[in-house]
A and B are shown apart, each in its own frame.
Chain A
Amino acid sequence: MIDRRQFVKRTCLGGLALYLDHWATSPAYGQDVIPPAPPIHVTEPAGIERSPLGMPGLFPGRVVEIADQQAIISNRVSQTVVQRILDHALCELTGVQDVRVAWSKFVEPKDIVGIKINPSGAPACCSSPEIVRAIVAGVQSAGVPLKNIHVYDRYAYEIDIGSYQTLVPLGVRVVGIQDRKLDASGYDSNIYCEANFFGEWETRSYMASIVSSDLTKIINVPTMKDHSAAGVTGCLKNLGYGTFNNVDRSHRRPFSFTDPLIGVMCSVEPLRSKAVLHIMDGMRMLWHGGPLSQNPKFIFPAGTLMVGTDPVAMDTIELEKIEAKRSKEGAPSVWSRDPKSLTENGGEFYEDATKNLYYRQPHHIAAAGKLGLGVSELKRIDHRILSAG
């Protein structure tokens, strides 16, 4: 029973420590105007033995990337192509020939598997239902019954806009953790991150009960997107901010404490141990206006998938890709600290790639690396780019 568990507190002085570190490693922070983050206190279950499958998982530092021009045509994702390239990438990641054996490295028949989608940005740019279906097929091939596969995210209404309920196979349950912004009933009151960023009245963010209690394994399906506060939203942001409530309090224009809060949240047990695989949906890459933009001029049909167990390595590669695309399109770097790029006008931000609402915090990825969640140094990342063949 949940009330019989023991819980411990730890404090991430990481806020300050991680800043000191990236001041040393990132020239952009030499002129940083952002105040240091406050300490973040974590209360989590005691005595959990960290799973070897948990982040950074079975293959630290390894990222498998595969793209296929046929994967997205006329803004429609091909189920056939997605299934094929996902199987190919998963076999490469695990070093096996049989895709069922590959899936069996992450899930077993007794598991309750959660597929953590990213429906924010629906309908224009969100986790593709075709990829979700391909994952369901893979998990099922490893012996997990359909009734034990749950597709979930925090906001039911965003799932609704994406029509995920209709598009997943019969038997798979779709769960929106909360209907309302302030609905805390789907959260575990014993597991939380506590920090006071801007003097907000509620200083705690609680872990979703489906993560703390119901699921035994999580497969994370972020989308490849720019993020106005975090720099990019990828594996870490989708998992951390999609598991805890009350997270948008970490940014208040123009400042954001997504660094280090995203990484801290991902380090909290049992989330850390349960997240065993990350499949990044780059069918549509949103290179500006994230996470919610519907503006087609910023959505590039990249037709890409990335697969790995190390969310830090994957987000590091994602950051490189978003930066490259922004540079090609003439948009400023997500590392930019130019106050002239800031705007208070959301409409301007959604139309003009030179404008932003916050000082973005892409260093949240490296900060998560410092917490042991993965590898952020590019030269240490085993980045394998596959031909779609």
Chain B
Amino acid sequence: MSNGDWPTLLGDNRRSGGQAARPWRAPQKSLWQSSVEGWVRGAPILRGGLLYVASLGGCLTAIDIRTGKMHWQFKTDASIHSTPSLNRKDVLVTCDDGKLYAIDSSSGAKSWEFASGAEIWSSPIVANDTIFFGDTAGSMQAVASIGHAMKWKRDLGGKIYATACVSGKQLFVSCGDANVYCLDAISGEIRWKAATGSGIDCSPAVANGSLFVGSLDFFFYAIDTTNGAVRWKYEAELGISSSPAVSGDIVVFGCKAGMLRALNTQTGKLLWSRFLGQAITAPPVISGDTVWIQSGVTHALNLADGKVLWWARLGYSLQSAPVVTESAVYLTSMEGDVYALA
């Protein structure tokens, strides 16, 4: 895998969005507040001083993090539900118009587009010069990042709303038909599938030979990546849509009953749990020793014991996650507000 790869939702297993770990420090003030056109469902991403925010208003907006001012805006004809990804100099974004767009990250000009045919809510991911995404018609697709030709397309048994995850030559896909699929990333062939009790709309994470994913059947699973066997599973109170974040031997995820949990990746043993008051559907982000999560209120918790370190009634969101950097924390709210906290 090359340095430019972006193999899972928010870039890596920690859902860090490509950012380095930040030592714990509570935000003290707002640097700026801005807004984008339309509501925001996905998470922002950051690179090179620009924060990229996609919105249901069909806009991908680049915001200058020094000023909070819009640097450029790219407008599509339909809503964007997904979180953008990065590929070389481009920002990749999928859209309800069935297209994958590659937008020049510095100018906002369209580099190229690829028409898939069906609505796309999952984020594109990149590995080995290939871009992968699933669509709501149940197809997983692989497109060459250079030349932009389709490499393969694989129809699965249900709708795909979650972002896939690549590890080596394996591509892992959560599906509405209750299965997690392992596809050959090169050919698109199905290597194995593992059944859960209900549809799956959270993105998996892979670490140490295990695939971690929650299902709407209320269970959180650790699955052997070699054969799809369930290593352990943990029962929550309600369905799980929150994509897990993994750091070391800790995996953190939320459930719709409002509980955020940390489990040991090897055993599935509960390390801590914390009730956050509202349904959790967004992914947590782990930065250093801190877990950040948006669920009505934005919380920062100590990774080791789940103790709440900081919270703010900012950034109500279903699927967004903060961008945590050394110098600031960037948040988007469902209503389209964007905050920079320092």
Q: Could you list which residues of chain A lie within 8 angstroms of chain B, going by C-beta atoms?
A: 75-76, 122-124, 129, 156-157, 160-161, 163, 165-171, 179-180, 294
Contacts and interface: CB of A to CB of B under 8 A. Distances in A.
Contacts of A123: 238-239, 256-257, 279
Contact of B256 (A76, A156, A161, A169): A161
Given A123-B256, A165-B121, A180 B335 contact: yes
B230 to A, nearest CB: 18
Interface in B244-258: 256-258
B138 interface: yes
Given A75-B218, A180-B335, 18 more contacts: A76-B197, A76-B218, A123-B239, A123-B257, A157-B39, A157-B334, A161-B279, A161-B281, A163-B199, A163-B216, A165-B136, A165-B159, A166-B159, A167-B176, A171-B137, A179-B79, A180-B39, A294-B279
B158 interface: yes
Among all A-B residue pairs, the 4 with the closest Cβ atoms? A123-B256, A166-B201, A166-B176, A166-B199
B136 to A, nearest CB: 7
B38 A179 contact: yes
Contacts of B176: 165-168, 170
A383 B63 CA distance: 61
Contacts of A167: 176, 198-199, 216
A161 B279 CA distance: 8
Interface string B176-220: 100000000000000000000111110000000000000011100
B335 A161 contact: no
A375 to B, nearest CB: 37
A129 B238 CA distance: 14
B281 A165 contact: no
B143 interface: no
B56 interface: yes
B41 interface: yes
Contacts of A170: 137-138, 157-159, 176
Interface residues of B, number: 35
Nearest to A74: B218
A129 B161 CA distance: 16
B241 interface: yes
Given A167-B199, A294-B279, A161 B318 contact: yes
A163 B136 CA distance: 13
27 contacts: A75-B218, A123-B279, A124-B238, A124-B256, A156-B56, A157-B39, A160-B41, A161-B256, A161-B279, A161-B318, A163-B241, A165-B136, A165-B159, A165-B161, A165-B201, A166-B158, A166-B161, A166-B176, A166-B199, A166-B200, A167-B176, A167-B199, A170-B138, A170-B157, A180-B38, A180-B39, A180-B335
B335 A163 contact: no
A346 to B, nearest CB: 13
Contacts of B56: 156, 179
B30 to A, nearest CB: 23
Contacts of B136: 165
Contact of A160 (B38, B158, B199, B281): B281
B263 to A, nearest CB: 20
A112 to B, nearest CB: 18
A129 B159 CA distance: 14
A75 B334 CA distance: 29
Given A165-B159, A166-B201, A179-B38, A76 B217 contact: yes
A129 B197 CA distance: 13
Contact of A179 (B39, B198, B200): B39
B156 to A, nearest CB: 9
Nearest to A79: B198
Contact of B318 (A129, A160, A165): A160
B185 to A, nearest CB: 23
Contact of A75 (B137, B157, B238): B238
A39 to B, nearest CB: 35
A179 B319 CA distance: 14
A235 to B, nearest CB: 26
B79 to A, nearest CB: 8
Contacts of B217: 76
Interface string B134-145: 001110000000
Contacts of A124: 238, 256-257
Contacts of B161: 165-166
Interface centre among B38, B121, B216, B334 (most CB of A within 10 A): B216
A167 B56 CA distance: 21
B270 to A, nearest CB: 19
Contacts of A122: 279
B233 to A, nearest CB: 14
A163 B174 CA distance: 13
Nearest to A165: B161
Contacts of A163: 199, 201, 216, 239, 241
A130 B176 CA distance: 13
Interface string B262-298: 0000000000000000010100000000000000000
A129 B256 CA distance: 15
B131 to A, nearest CB: 22
A75 B197 CA distance: 13
Contacts of B257: 123-124, 294
Interface centre among B176, B197, B217, B218 (most CB of A within 10 A): B176
B138 A166 contact: no
Nearest to A123: B256
Interface string B232-243: 000001110100
A124 B236 CA distance: 13
Contacts of B216: 163, 166-167
A222 to B, nearest CB: 21
A165 B318 CA distance: 14
Contacts of B138: 170
A296 to B, nearest CB: 8
A161 to B, nearest CB: 6
A162 to B, nearest CB: 9
B40 to A, nearest CB: 10
B182 to A, nearest CB: 19
A75 B256 CA distance: 13
A171 B176 CA distance: 12
Contacts of A75: 218, 237-238
Nearest to A160: B318
